[in-house]
Homo-oligomer: A and B are copies of this chain.
Amino acid sequence: MASQTRQWLLTNPPVADIKLSGDDATFSLVTKELPPVGPNQALVKTLYLSNDPAQRTWIQKDQDPERLYLPPVQKDTPMKAFGICEVVQSEAENLKKGDLVLTEANWTEYSVQDAAALRPVQPDPEHGIKPTHFLGSLGFTGMTAYWGLVDVVRTTASDTVVVSGAAGATGSMVVQIAKHLVGCKRIIGIAGSDEKCRWVESLGADTCINYKSKSFKEDLIKATEGYVEVYYDNVGGEILDLMLTRMKRHGRIAACGAISNYNNGNEKQISNWNEVIFNRIEIRGLIVLDAMPKMGEIMETLSKGVKDGKIKMTEESETIVKSKFEDIPSTWMMLFQGGNQGKLITQLV
C-alpha cells in the first residue's frame, strides 16, 4: 500500500507566463507522506487528470479570493485538478477496491479522500462511454456547454450561433448541442487550424474558420453576413472584440472563458465597446457552478444525446496524453499552445 505520494505544488503563482523550470518555476514536484485512511475515507490512485483553461485562473498571483468563483490555489499547496481515480483501499461502506471515482484529485499520484467527495462513475462500453468522458462531454465540460448555450443565453432553433474555441472541450460540445439538440439555424465555429476546423464541421458546424489564417477577419465577416444572434465565447480578447461588430441588434453573448487573457497579465483588450451600446448587446458571464440545481436534468439530456448518437464520443473528441507524473505541467500547458482537440486529458503512466 502506498505510504507516500508525489505531488506538484504551486510554488510561484504566476502574473503572466507559466514557467516550467528555473528558480521561479510555477510548480515544483515534492514527495509527501500520506495520512492514514480513516473511517469513511478511501485511498485513491489518480488515473486521469482533467486539463482546463480555468485552472490558470485559480493560480493567478494575488487573485482576490472574493472575486474568484472558488477558493484560489494557495502557494505551496497541491495544484487543483479534477480527475478520475481508482480506489486502492476503502474504509467506507459504499466504496470498494477497484471502483472508479470522479473527484478533486489534484496533481498527486495518491490521495486520501473523504468518501463523500468521491463520485462513482460508471462507464458504459455498449454506448462507447469511457471513464474519461466523465471529465469532459458527460462532466463539467458538457454541463458548461449546455448551461451556457441553452439556459444563460436562451439559444433556440431560430438562432445563428458563433462558437470560439470550437475544437476545445467546451466549444466542441457547444457545436454538437447547438446542432443536434437545439437544432440551430446555422453554426459557425472558430478554431486554430484547418484540421481542427474540418473536425468541428464534422461535429455539426456549418462552417469553421481558422483564426490563425491571414484572412480570418474577412472570413469571419463573410461567414456572419447578416450578423448573428448568439456568440458563445471561450477565448475573450481579439476574437471577442471582433465578434462585438458581428452581433445582431439585441444579440446575446455567453462569456464562458477567456483563454487568450489568462497568461497576458493585465493587457487592455476591447476597442469596440460602442457596439454593446449601439446594438444593445446582452453579455452574460457564466460558471458551471450555477448549473448545479439543474445538473440532473442536463446530464440526463446529454446522456440521452449520446445514446441517440447525436453527441459523438469518438477517439477524436478527446486528446488523451500518456504522461509520466513528472510531465503533468507540460501536458497541461498544451491547452495554451492549441495542442488539444476536444478535451485534453492526462493519462498517468
Tell me the A residues contacting B by CB distance below 8 Å.
57, 67-69, 236, 240-241, 245, 255-258, 261-262, 266-271, 273-287, 290
Closest 3 CB pairs of A and B: A276-B285, A270-B270, A283-B283
Closest chain B CB from A177 CB (angstroms)? 19
Q: Which residues of B contact A276 (CB under 8 A)?
A: 255, 283, 285
A278: chain B residues within 8 A (beta carbon): 57, 67-69, 285, 287
A selection of 30 A-B contacts at a CB cut-off of 8 Å is A57-B274, A57-B278, A67-B245, A67-B275, A67-B278, A69-B279, A236-B273, A236-B274, A240-B273, A255-B273, A255-B276, A257-B277, A258-B277, A262-B274, A268-B268, A268-B269, A268-B271, A269-B269, A269-B271, A269-B273, A277-B285, A277-B286, A280-B285, A280-B286, A280-B290, A281-B283, A281-B284, A282-B282, A282-B285, A283-B283
Q: Once bound together, how far apart are the Cα atoms of A273 and B266, in whole Å?
A: 10
Check B279–A67 contact: CB distance below 8 A: yes
Q: B271 and A267: CB pair below 8 A?
A: yes
Query: What are the residues of chain B within 8 A of A245 when measuring CB–CB?
Result: 67
- Give complex CA distance A210, B267 in Å: 26
Tell me how far the C-beta of A73 lies from the nearest C-beta in chain B, rounded to whole angstroms. 15
Question: Chain B nearest CB: distance from A248 CB in Å?
Answer: 10
Residues from chain B with a CB closer than 8 A to the CB of A241 are 268
Neighbour of A287 across the interface among B236, B255, B277, CB < 8 A:
B277
**Do B285 and A261 touch across chains, with their CB atoms under 8 A apart?**
no
CA distance A209 to B267 in the complex (A): 26
**Quick one: which of B57, B266, B281, B284 contacts A271, CB cutoff 8 A?**
B266
Query: Which residue of B has the minimal Cβ distance to A270?
Result: B270
Residues of B within 8 Å of A283, CB to CB, are: 276, 281-284
B290:A277 contact, CB within 8 angstroms: no
Knowing A245-B67, A270-B268, A271-B266 touch, does A287 contact B280 (C-beta < 8 A)? Answer: yes
- Kindly report which residue of chain B lies nearest to residue A276, judged by CB atoms: B285
Sample of 17 more A-B contacts, CB < 8 Å, known A269-B270, A269-B271: A57-B274, A67-B279, A68-B278, A241-B268, A255-B276, A257-B277, A258-B273, A261-B273, A262-B274, A268-B270, A280-B285, A280-B287, A281-B283, A281-B284, A282-B282, A282-B283, A282-B284
Chain B, Cβ-Cβ closest to A252: B284
Which chain B residue lies CB-closest to A257?
B277
Report whether B273 and A280 are in contact in the complex, using a CB–CB cutoff of 8 Å.
no
B residues near A261, Cβ cutoff 8 Å: 273-274
Q: In the assembly, what is the distance between CA of A277 and CA of B67, in Å?
A: 10
**A266-B236 Cα distance, complex, nearest whole Å:** 18
Residues of the B chain whose Cβ atoms lie less than 8 Å from the Cβ of A270: 268-270, 273
How distant is the Cα of A30 from the Cα of B130 in the complex, in angstroms?
76
How distant is the Cα of A279 from the Cα of B68 in the complex, in angstroms? 7
Measured in the bound complex, the distance between the Cα atoms of B278 and A134 in whole Å is: 23
CB distance from A26 to the nearest CB of B (A): 18
